[in-house]
Amino acid sequence: MPAIVSVAEAVPAHVLRQEKVMDFARDLFSESFKDIERLLKAFHNGQIEKRHFAKDLEWFKADKSFEERNNAYIDQAIELGTKAIKNCLNSETFLKKHIPYTEIDAIFTISSSGIATPSIEARIMNKLPFSEHTKRIPIWGLGCAGGASGLSRAYEYCLAFPKAKVLVLSIELCSLTFQRNDRSKSNLIGTSLFADGVACALVTGDDVKMEDFQKQAAIPRILATQSTTMRDSLDVMGWEVKDEGLYVVFSKDIPAIIESWLKPNVSEFLQKEGIKMEEVSHFVAHPGGKKVIGAYQSALQFDPAMTKISLEVLKEYGNMSSATILYVLKRFMEFGQQGEMGLATALGPGFSSELLLLEWE
């Protein structure tokens, strides 16, 4: 089965502590909500300590047009995407030697936080010496589920082309979508939660001679995947596109939906693959937020230790939409042992879920 050989991050330069962002939100939202101090508790209750942004806080204090924000997205996406690819193909943690850019057969570029045509990987291909025949597969609009979905689509590509080496490049600059004049609770919660992050994963097919470059004793192979979309749930999360840009849609019912919907979804998937929940050693979960992680634990009846790494990523980086699960996966890959099973899961607009069954070999 196709394997995930290397994962690397590109972390934006500007570090913002949660207290500083909370002060910014207090100044901005206090006239709109009489109970602003109660609502601001979300900044502490979410257990996020810091986040990384593409721009410093001063940049967000003045109105920006859709054009200005999207141009900033393109510039930063190229810079950070290039860095993530370099880090992935030169990883000292996961690789014994550099993987040449010319050996990459396809790039799956995942994003939902900006718009670019030509897409970002085409622009990066003018900076890094990829083959001119490298296939480009940009995927837009999957939100928080996008990183897991990108891995699933890369898995399917490598099943069809077992000699392939492909990249899954996830670029999310959520902060650049921020709307100063949106005084909704969704925007306030989004301000407390979302962050910027970029990550890249290398996925290889069965016929690739990985002993030439694989450094870890065991790496996760993808055994199976499952994509599921809940009917009539378009209003759970996503964007509203207005003249000023992208306005966040973020339902307060997400944790309750997860609790009622995820367990049968996961149970069906594992049963189909002949795996019992207790056989899963690693729960590679996209940490949508503290309440979302709590809903995972309640729905799947996991010991809290199973979500420890997801919580640590949330604490250090916030919710970076699609890129977050790759940050979580990287940490599991640093200590996974041969024969251990993993379940990767992420939820996104649609409302949808992406599941991957992993085995370290």
Q: Which residue has the higher pLDDT, 287 or 40?
A: 287
| Cα 349 from chain centre | 13
pLDDT band with cut points at 50, 70 and 90 for residue 342: very high
Residues 206 and 224 in one domain: no
Residues 53 and 110 in one domain: yes
Q: What is the pLDDT of residue 259?
A: 77
Residues 87 and 148 in one domain: yes
pLDDT band with cut points at 50, 70 and 90 for residue 102: very high
* Domain end call among 194, 212, 230: 212
Number of compact structural domains in the chain: 2
Query: Among 10, 28, 9, which Cα is nearest to 20's?
Result: 28
Residues 63 and 20 in one domain: yes
Residues 144 and 250 in one domain: no
Output Rg (C-alpha) for the chain, integer angstroms: 20
Mean pLDDT, to the nearest integer, of 241-261?
Answer: 82
pLDDT band with cut points at 50, 70 and 90 for residue 103: very high
* Percent of the chain surpassing pLDDT 90: 64
Per-residue pLDDT reduced to its tens digit, 33-83 = 777 887 787 777 778 999 999 999 889 888 889 999 999 999 999 999 999
Mean pLDDT, to the nearest integer, of 156-179?
Answer: 95
Residues 89 and 165 in one domain: yes
Does position 199 have pLDDT exceeding 90, yes or no? Answer: yes
Residues 305 and 328 in one domain: yes
Per-residue pLDDT reduced to its tens digit, 203-232 = 999 999 999 999 999 999 999 999 999 888
Residues 199 and 347 in one domain: no
Q: Which residue has the tokens 């597969």?
A: 137
Is the dihedral angle over the CA atoms 128, 130, 133, 134 positive or is it negative? negative
Contacts of 137 by beta carbon, 8 Å cutoff, 6+ apart:
106, 107, 108, 109, 153, 157
Does position 258 have pLDDT exceeding 90, yes or no? Answer: no
Residue numbers of the domain that contains 176: 3-212
* Domain end call among 170, 191, 212: 212
* Strand 135-140 to 220-229 pairing: unpaired
Per-residue pLDDT reduced to its tens digit, 303-332 = 888 999 999 999 999 999 999 999 999 999
Mean pLDDT, to the nearest integer, of 154-160?
Answer: 98
Contact 247, 179 (CB under 8 A): yes
| pTM score, whole prediction | 0.93
Q: Taking the CB of residue 49, how many other CB atoms lie within 10 A of it? A: 14
Mean pLDDT, to the nearest integer, of 250-265?
Answer: 82
Q: Residue 250's domain is classified under what CATH number?
A: 3.40.47.10
Contact 328, 296 (CB under 8 A): no
C-alpha to C-alpha distance for 271 and 160, rounded to whole angstroms: 25
* Domain end call among 165, 192, 212: 212
Three-state secondary-structure class, residue 12: coil
* Percent of the chain surpassing pLDDT 70: 100
Average pLDDT, the chain: 91
Q: Which residues are catalytic?
A: 144
Does position 300 have pLDDT exceeding 90, yes or no? Answer: no
Residues 70 and 141 in one domain: yes
Residue 264 structure tokens: 């049968």
Q: Which residue has the higher pLDDT, 281 or 184?
A: 281
Residues 200 and 305 in one domain: no
| DSSP of 98-111 | PPPGGG--EEEEEE
